[in-house]
Structure 1
Amino acid sequence: MDLGLTGRTVLVTGASSGVGLATTRMLLAEGANVAACARDAERLKTALDGLPGNLHLGACDVLDRDCVQEFVERSAERFGGIDGVVNNAGRSLMARLAETEDRQWRDELELKIFSVLHVVRAAQPWLRESTAASVVNINAILARQPEARLAATSAARAALLNLSKTLAGELAADDIRVNSVCLGLIDTGQWRRRYERSGSTAEFSEWSAELAADRGIPLGRLGTADEVAFPIVALLSPRASYLTGTALDVGGGIARYL
């Protein structure tokens, strides 16, 4: 199926690994122009080196408003506009309520909210001119189903989900769609690092299967970055033109809410 992304320009944050990297690859395969950024320029270049397609790379800290503005302007100049944005930059703080300092609460809220606001505000003039403008915010099932071991992250994710709904309503008048993709446990570098720190003598596949069982994932495994990238790319497509304000779960059935 032709998703109608050929020649369209999509900006992806946090593109050097995991979901951001997989999304960038998939967009390029669909014929899209991709403006990809991450904080570490060398890591980004190494991850995307040799990929076919129209690619613009840049080092960018999404919490630095001026840096974001500059990267967005350069990307729009390079490709003649911006049609889509994937807000993927983020992290999780593994800490219970009593273990989380006030500074960490503020850091989590700032990252989850302003990493999206800075990019959307900067890209909005070009999105307004697009015939198929779409923003996809990468979130987590934690937004609706808090995890005690991720107290601050769960709360910040809920705030982002609320913000995304507000953005969908506010930007609809400019024909800019805003949707969320909410992740469960995905096999990315974050979980690989936790596996390495665990000291487990089991293979990662066994360790992750035990993790999936402990967390109650019906499909019995972690997801992959490519399995997340597909719905992201689909939501960016003009074929999804009547979808806005939605939150799509990609979690192997882990969500318990209706």
Structure 2
Amino acid sequence: MDLGLAGRTVLVTGGSSGVGLATVRALLDEGANVATCGRRAEALRQIGAHERLHTAVCDIRDADAVDALVAGAVDRFGGLDGLVNNAGQSRMKSFADCTTADWRDELELKFDGVLHPLRAALGHLRASAAPSVVNVNAVLAKEPSPRLITTSAARAGILNLSKSLSAELASDGIRVNSVCLGLIDTGQWSRRYAEAATEQPYEHWQAALAADRGVALGRLGSADEVAYAIVALLSPRASYITGTTVDVCGGVSRSIA
């Protein structure tokens, strides 16, 4: 199926690895122009060169840097049709382990990761014939974990924000949706496997992790599986979908909302 993304321009934050990188590649495969960013130039270079790809070193907590990123994308491709707010990370701490600085840093990272790109992109999205925003979130937003207390709280706030934005921006024709992830096989899990120093094969370690976390499908998901959902929501073919959440979690979510 032609998703109607050829020739459209999408900005993906945090596109140098994991879900962001998979999304960048999926969009390029669909014929879209893609702008993306990361905090390290070396990681961005590993994406490879492409005539429809614009990259820049950028920390999404720096509003001026985000403004420059969006301006560079628009200068190169002439406009902006989609935004994927993907940049972020998890903080594995309980309440007893968290300092006030931990809370502040986590909330700033999560909210700046949505607010700075959206503010910079909003005028350009309003000029698009089919604008769409996808906020990459986590099932923690609905089913918090005490092991990730700051991240769970921040994720819940972003889910709430996304719903509010979908209502406010609907009059501009801008759709806003969320994709909530479960256990996805990205760099963080391979690092944790290495830190575990187990003799168990990685596939068996993954399966045990999935079982422990209650993943119905019994495995971790892939970044490509998440990218498919993101790209589908960006597509003009999803023109009547806004304010919704797609869980890509292998059935780990027990929430009915």
Interval of TM-score (by shorter of Structure 1 and Structure 2): over 0.9
CA distance in 2, matches of 1:202, 1:53: 43
Equivalent residue number for residue 214 of structure 1 = 212
SS of 1:146's partner is coil
Amino acid at match of 2:146: A
Asked whether the 8 Å contact 1:29–1:53 carries over to 2, the reply is no
Q: CA deviation at 1:257?
A: 1.1
Supply the distance in 2 between the matched residues of 1:224 and 1:42 (Cα, whole angstroms): 23
- Tell me which moved more, 199-208 or 13-22: 199-208
Task: State yes or no: 1:193 paired with 2:158.
Answer: no
Whether contact under 8 Å (1:161, 1:180) holds in the other structure is yes
1:8-19 correspondence runs (5 A): 8-19=8-19
> CA separation in 2, counterparts of 1:186 and 1:139?
12
Aligned length: 256
SS at match of 2:169: helix
After superposition, what is the alpha-carbon deviation per residue over 1:184-242, rounded to whole angstroms, capped at 9, x for unaligned? 00000011111111111111111111000000101000000000000100000000001
* Match of residue 120, structure 1, among 118, 121, 125: 118
**1:174 — aligned with what?**
172
State the Cα distance separating 1:166 from its structure 2 match: 1.0
* Match status 1:36 vs 2:36: yes
TM-score normalised over the length of structure 2: 0.98
In the other structure, the counterpart of 2:132 is: 134
Query: How do 1:1-258 residues align onto structure 2 when only pairs under 5 Å count?
Result: 1-46=1-46, 48-50=47-49, 52-258=50-256
Q: Distance in 2 between matches of 1:53 and 1:33?
A: 9
Query: Structure 1, unaligned stretches of length 5 or more?
Result: none
Supply the AA of the counterpart residue of 2:74: A
What are the superposed Cα offsets for residues 138-179 of structure 1, whole Å, 9 maximum, x if unpaired? Answer: 000000000111111000000000111111111111111100
- Structure 2 counterpart of 1:180, one-letter code: S
Contact 1:179–1:245 (Cα < 8 Å) also in 2 = yes
Q: Find runs of 4+ consecutive structure 1 residues off by over 6 angstroms.
A: none
Q: Cα offset for 1:97?
A: 1.3
**Contact kept in structure 2, 1:23 and 1:233, CA below 8 Å:** yes
Following the alignment from structure 1 to structure 2, what is the Cα–Cα distance between the partners of residues 134 and 76? Answer: 16
- Aligned partner of 1:226: which letter? D
Q: Which amino acid aligns with 1:111?
A: L
Q: Which amino acid aligns with 2:183?
A: L
| TM-fit CA distance, 1:73 | 0.6
Q: CA deviation at 1:53?
A: 4.8
What percent of counterpart residues are identical? 62
* Residue deviations 1:73-113 (CA, integer Å, cap 9, x gap): 11011000000000000000011111111111111111111
CA RMSD in angstroms, aligned pairs only: 0.8
Q: Is the partner of 1:23 in helix, strand or coil?
A: helix
Q: Which letter maps to 2:170?
A: A
Is the Cα–Cα contact under 8 Å of residues 36 and 56 in structure 1 kept in the other structure?
Answer: yes
Measured against aligned partners, the alpha-carbon deviations of 1:23-44 in whole angstroms (never above 9, x if no partner) come to 0000000000000111111211
Gaps of 5+ in 2: none
